[in-house]
Chains A and B, each alone.
Chain A
Amino acid sequence: MDTTAQTDYNPALTGDGADKAQALVYPRIDCKDVSVFYSGKQAVFDVSLPVYDRSVTALIGPSGCGKSTFLRCLNRMNDTIDGAKVTGEIFMDGENINSPEVDPVLLRSRVGMVFQKPNPFPKSIYDNIAYGPRIHGLVEDRQELDAIVEKSLRRAGLWQEVKDRLAQPGTSLSGGQQQRLCIARAIAVRPEVILMDEPCSSLDPIATARIEELIDELRKRYCIVIVTHSMQQAARVSQRTAFFHLGHLVEMGDTDQIFTSPRERRTEDYITGRFG
């Protein structure tokens, strides 16, 4: 497996003529030898993977390859599963997120998550967004809260569609709108990283295109990791792609390279539809 190539610069920041040295950054999240066990059965094997800021990293691989399990390590969602054990180290801004001093609730406000099925709270559109900032004490008054709700909905590309019906239930929106509501809810607590677990798999192609446009917009501010079953989606939205198979990280590299000239035979076979 080759993770050494270009681990020291962020491809998202290297545009035409950009000086590579200018784009030298450290990974936002740096995973070292991460393994996951469910009731003693190993699901992820020694994965070392850097995740860069202001770019989208896509995790691809067949069902059961460990990509979602790995994603859930990044905000300690596996803590909530009985019998799950995570070993190895995951550094975020130099701090090991698995150390006992780290409060998982605070961590999850820094590392937001969007799931496969949109899951708005059974509350109004406004309260869906306002809930996080309220419980985390991010606002002092109603005015400030209104501003966060509006800003989050704008960033999620939903404001124009819902600004006149903020009091209606979140569940009254269409599937694609609900997913954007969930993204707005995730960014309302000012996260640094957004994890997306197949965020478009229950959406039609138009709603999917809207989410992908949103992801492209969000990557200017956030570090995004997305798990997707659609290779075309990974190719469209990400700058880096990691291919998982049977719990192992087989290959990771610039998305262009992975989809035109993968180095590993297993990656080639998977993305060209020769096994799955």
Chain B
Amino acid sequence: MADHIVSAFTDELDKIAADLMRMGGIVETMILDSCQAVDRNDHDLAKDVISRDPSVDRLEEEVERQIVSLIARRQPMAHDLRSVFAALKTAGELERIGDLSKNIGKRALMLDDAVSANMRHGVARMARPVSLQLHAVLDAYATSNADTAKTVWESDDDIDQHYNSLFREMITYMIEDPRTIGAGAHMLFMAKNLERIGDHCTNIAEFIYFQITGEYLMPHERPKAPNTGV
């Protein structure tokens, strides 16, 4: 798209997009690192993930501040309006993803050293597709690719299936050995956090699709995994 006649307008939109990508990059590594901390029982890494969350919060505030100022001074229209709307909503989703990853890090610190490697692997396995979802949706944002955004939106089903399978796995461990119930409960919350992160990626995909096309993706048209009641 051509630049604005007022070049500062283009610069300001670019700055918002760059800050959002920075936020996205930070939370993407937070997802992977928090689950790796669980997998390897690495408390230093877990603490490091927790310490990154305030920078995500600050970036969200910074993006919001820039958007409020841009709306007040430039009254964006059409694609510009959709961009700032999508950026504002996406910043909120990324901040939530940061919180959920931080929560996984906190739970990693609470896990007993005796928790088996098998239980730990389960969460790490689910982290990979979730972080890939986020990576793909950020890629769609960076390249303004509506098709990629729609693909992410449609594939949330895979994450839900991962969640359902991990849920059953943890229940099995806990039934087999009631001493794992404490750790199992933490694992279930972590799995739920990852599943929620998948939902946030879906939301971001909707905003990005709207930004690019001006059309809404309708949630009721999205393929859904069978409801397992969890």
A271 within 8 A of B: yes
Residues of chain A contacted by B76 (CB below 8 angstroms): 272
Q: Which of chain B's residues has its CB closest to A258's CB? A: B78
A231, A259, A271, A275: the one contacting B5 at CB < 8 Å is: A275
- Please state if A273 and B4 are interface contacts (CB–CB under 8 Å): yes
Residues of chain B contacted by A232 (CB below 8 angstroms): 75
Residues of chain B contacted by A104 (CB below 8 angstroms): none
- Please state if A261 and B4 are interface contacts (CB–CB under 8 Å): no
- Please state if A273 and B6 are interface contacts (CB–CB under 8 Å): yes
Residues of chain A contacted by B82 (CB below 8 angstroms): 260-261
- Please state if A272 and B78 are interface contacts (CB–CB under 8 Å): yes
Interface of A is mostly: helix
Q: Which of A219-276 contact B (CB under 8 A)?
A: 231-232, 235, 259-262, 267-269, 271-276
Q: Which of chain A's residues has its CB closest to B210's CB? A: A261
Q: Which of chain B's residues has its CB closest to A267's CB? A: B78
Residues of chain A contacted by B75 (CB below 8 angstroms): 232
- Please state if A260 and B81 are interface contacts (CB–CB under 8 Å): yes
A-B contact pairs, 29 of them (CB 8 A): A231-B77, A259-B77, A260-B77, A260-B82, A261-B78, A261-B82, A261-B213, A261-B214, A261-B215, A267-B78, A268-B78, A269-B2, A271-B77, A271-B78, A272-B4, A272-B76, A272-B79, A272-B80, A273-B4, A273-B5, A273-B6, A273-B9, A274-B1, A274-B2, A274-B3, A274-B4, A274-B5, A275-B2, A275-B5
Known: A261-B214, A272-B80, A274-B2. 7 other contacts (CB 8 A): A259-B78, A260-B77, A262-B78, A267-B78, A268-B78, A269-B2, A274-B1
